[in-house]
Amino acid sequence: MAQALYRKYRSKSLDQVVGQDHITKILSRAIKQGRIAHAYLFTGPRGVGKTSVARILAYEINKFKYDETTNHLDIIEIDAASNNGVEDIRSLREKAQIAPVAAAKKIYIIDEVHMLSNSAFNALLKTLEEPPEHVVFILATTDADKLPDTIISRTQRFNFHRAQPDDIEKHLAELAKSEKIDIETDAIAMLAVRADGSFRDAVGLLDQMAGLASSSDMTITADLVEASLGLAPLQSIEDLIDCVKRSDLSRLVTTLDSLEQSGVQTSILLEQLVAAARLSAAKSDIYIALLSALLEVASSPYPQHKLLTALASCMKPRRQSTAALAVSNATVTLPNPVDELTAKAVEPKPRETMVQEIAPVQIDDAETPTTQPTTKKSVDIESIDWNELIQYTKKNYVAIYSVLNKCSYQLADGTLNIYTSSAFYKKKLDDPKYRTSLHKSLEAIGVPEIDIETIPTPAPIKDGTAAAVAAIMGGGEEVTI
């Protein structure tokens, strides 16, 4: 049976360890100087070499040649995940009193030490405080926050770093060359990103792809990696981010639906988007907002739908009307508030007008000549029959009617400004389904395509004196009695 690559190429000495020079150099120097601590603590993410360095350190302390295929009587490994009780630690304490068989030091490597129970930690603490001269403890964990401070304070702590993509790529390229694996540079880069900072995971992925390529005698390409690991194509990731930047909701929905139909899992797609946003975080604020929104998706009971809303929430409005800008700037302090506000309040506003056209009527000798007035909307949309719109939605779109009935409106520069008085109603009218029905209702009452802006405040007060008083009082709403 072929040996797994991560075991075949596991480091055999401290100078072979990749990406942790800040630790291996200190340990090598300490061994040369004979400065051996009685307890070490290795912390850091999974797959970065904590256990490997612990084993190498144990052998180099005893000046043995490292050989992972054999077990040495004086180097004892304990998995705290399955040996986490107080009785296990009491047994360890008793055996630790016995002198080593053939080594200078008896070394205990306790992996995943954070899994020990509280009583087990208490039992271990006494031994760490006053260990036998011939004993060295090497503790390793991925979750140092779960360790009691009393344990941490009695060890020399070394923090292992996450592997950088560049270091992983270089390591994979060397392994591929040694194993004669035909793999493209883009494919190596994709495996490095997918490994998420873990050398072990990266080598495992390379091993998996090598098995696939060797069976079919093919080159490992980026497309092959995507298909084999169930990843979304990089172009799709770029398209999704581009949709957010361009506020293209329709294309965003289409792209997500396409990825779902092709079998890409939401969890994998989310990881890819987070990685892309993180790598581009320094380019624009939109990537920071995107990263913040994406981090909330994993905890949702409906991640597939949450992903859509998270991406959509980062889109910027296409444009902002002058009326909306005026509302947002209404709190600017003026030198003479009463005079200025009164002047603005009485400023002439466009009046609603109705254009009448006289339609000629055929005249018979027996009939008196008459004319029939015909009304229609002016081409530049100078007026809208708001009551007619309300009644139409009441009969045809009850959901919209329940919102519009509480709103007011104004026409400005060919734009229909709807004042919703609250952010809640604005959100309703901004919903694509509501907005489509609203346009259909306007078209039904004779209003052609028109820009619509929703503003989450009451409509400006028309009466000049009332407007000035409202400004002094901190705001107000016009009410018809």
Angle at 238 between CA 234 and CA 240, to 5 degrees: 115
Separation in Å, CA 481 to CA 124, 404, 459, 478: 81, 20, 16, 10
Contact 123, 89 (CB under 8 A): yes
3-state secondary structure of 148: coil
Residue with the two structure tokens 């029959």:
385
As to burial, measured by CB atoms within 10 angstroms (0-12 exposed, 13-18 middle, 19+ buried), residue 283 is: exposed
Pure H helices in 34-183: 50-61, 86-96, 118-129, 149-152, 165-179
Name, in order, each residue with C-beta under 8 angstroms of 421's C-beta and a sequence gap of 6 or more: 406, 407, 456, 457, 458, 477
Per-residue pLDDT of the chain (481 residues; tens, 9 = 90+): 567 887 888 888 998 898 899 999 999 999 999 999 999 999 999 889 999 999 999 999 999 988 777 788 999 999 998 888 899 999 999 999 999 998 999 999 999 999 999 999 999 998 898 889 999 999 999 999 999 999 999 999 999 998 888 889 999 999 999 888 889 898 998 898 888 888 899 999 998 888 776 655 678 888 888 888 888 888 899 999 999 999 999 999 999 999 988 888 999 999 889 988 888 887 878 888 898 899 889 888 888 899 999 999 988 765 544 444 444 454 444 445 444 444 444 454 444 444 444 444 443 444 444 444 434 344 355 678 888 999 998 888 888 888 888 888 888 877 889 988 888 888 888 888 888 888 888 888 888 778 899 998 888 766 555 555 455 455 555 554 4
Q: For 157-190, b where at least 16 C-beta lie within 10 A, e where not — what string? A: ebebbbbebebbbebbbebbeeeebebeeebbbb
Structure tokens, 110: 């306790």
Per residue in 208-236, pLDDT (tens digit) is: 888 776 655 678 888 888 888 888 888 89
Which phi and psi (to 5°) does residue 204 adopt? -65, -40
- Contact criterion met (CB below 8 Å) for 163 and 183: no
Tell me how far CA of residue 220 lies from CA of 83, 199, 444, in angstroms: 42, 19, 59
